[in-house]
Amino acid sequence: MEPQKRPGGRSARVREAVRQATLAELAEHGYAGLTVENVAERSGVHKTTVYRRWGGIEGLISDALELAGEEPWPIPDTGSIAGDLRGVVQLVRSGFADPELGPVSSAFVAAAVQDPAAAKALHDFFAARHEQSAQVVRRAIERGELPDVVDPSEVIRVAVAPVYYRLFVAHEPVSEHDADRAADAALAAARAGVL
């Protein structure tokens, strides 16, 4: 009574096992502590197989990232653009603050800074996120809360950028207040029509 056989046999099981092991290792040891051997041992798949199919750590990251990108992203709907934008930014902040998800998310960013393949995967990931999150801005435009000249995805970028900047560039702590302020700043700029 195998789970299911149609979408693939052994290979599919191996792939899934490795993906899960990668995420688990990432959560435990972070990106710096991620090794192919540990992933292989945890997944029960042999070391050489991982090297052949994934090519190395970068491949593991890209694959896991692709998996993460398929998961849906909750879009806030508080009724006002102010609340929605704050919701989006807080979601980002809390995601990295989470002791379980945080290290995994951070690992993706870390990997992308070094490996071009991971960078491409992360680029696509964020393109999708921007597109989805921009929904809150489009709704606001329809409601007349914002001028229709604003670029919806640009508002999202400017809103979340300070959080990422603090986390991965300046390496400063990010409080809830910081997140709200970033969202409010993006909103003020959008209202002024500069975005």
Partner DNA sequence: CTCCAAAGACTACTCCAGTTGCGTTTACCT
Partner DNA sequence: AGGTAAACGCAACTGGAGTAGTCTTTGGAG
86 burial (CB, 10 Å; 0-12 / 13-18 / 19+) is buried
Gap between the Cα atoms of 110 and 113, Å rounded? 5
CB of 176 to its own copies, least distance (A): 15
Is 147 a binding residue for DNA by CB under 7 A? The answer is no
Is 11 a binding residue for DNA by CB under 7 A? The answer is yes
CB of 156 to its own copies, least distance (A): 10
The answer to whether residues 33 and 90 touch, using CB atoms and an 8 Å cutoff, is no
Tokens 């990232």 map to which residue? 65
HSE-CB of 78 using CA atoms within 13 angstroms: 11
User: Which residue from 45, 146, 160, 179 is in contact with DNA, where contact means CB under 7 A?
Assistant: 45
Is 57 a binding residue for DNA by CB under 7 A? The answer is yes
Is 42 a binding residue for its own copies by CB under 8 A? The answer is no
User: Which own/partner pairs from 176-185 qualify as long-range (CB within 8 Å, at least 24 positions apart)?
Assistant: 176/90, 176/93, 178/93, 179/86, 179/89, 179/90, 179/92, 179/93, 180/86, 180/89, 180/90, 182/89, 183/82, 183/85, 183/86, 183/88, 183/89, 183/90, 183/159, 184/82, 184/85, 184/86, 185/158, 185/159
Is 48 a binding residue for DNA by CB under 7 A? The answer is yes
User: Which residue from 56, 79, 147, 193 is in contact with DNA, where contact means CB under 7 A?
Assistant: 56
Is 15 a binding residue for DNA by CB under 7 A? The answer is yes
CB of 71 to its own copies, least distance (A): 18
Is 14 a binding residue for DNA by CB under 7 A? The answer is yes
- Indicate the residue among 56 and 147 with the shorter CB distance to DNA: 56
- Indicate the residue among 42 and 191 with the shorter CB distance to its own copies: 191
Q: Residue 161: helix, strand or coil by DSSP?
A: helix
Is 29 a binding residue for DNA by CB under 7 A? The answer is no
Residues that bind its own copies (CB under 8 A): 31-32, 106, 109-110, 112-115, 119-120, 122-123, 126-127, 130, 154, 157-158, 160-162, 164-166, 168-172, 181-182, 184-189, 191-192, 194-195
Residues that bind DNA (CB under 7 A): 5, 8-11, 13-15, 35-37, 44-49, 51-53, 56-57
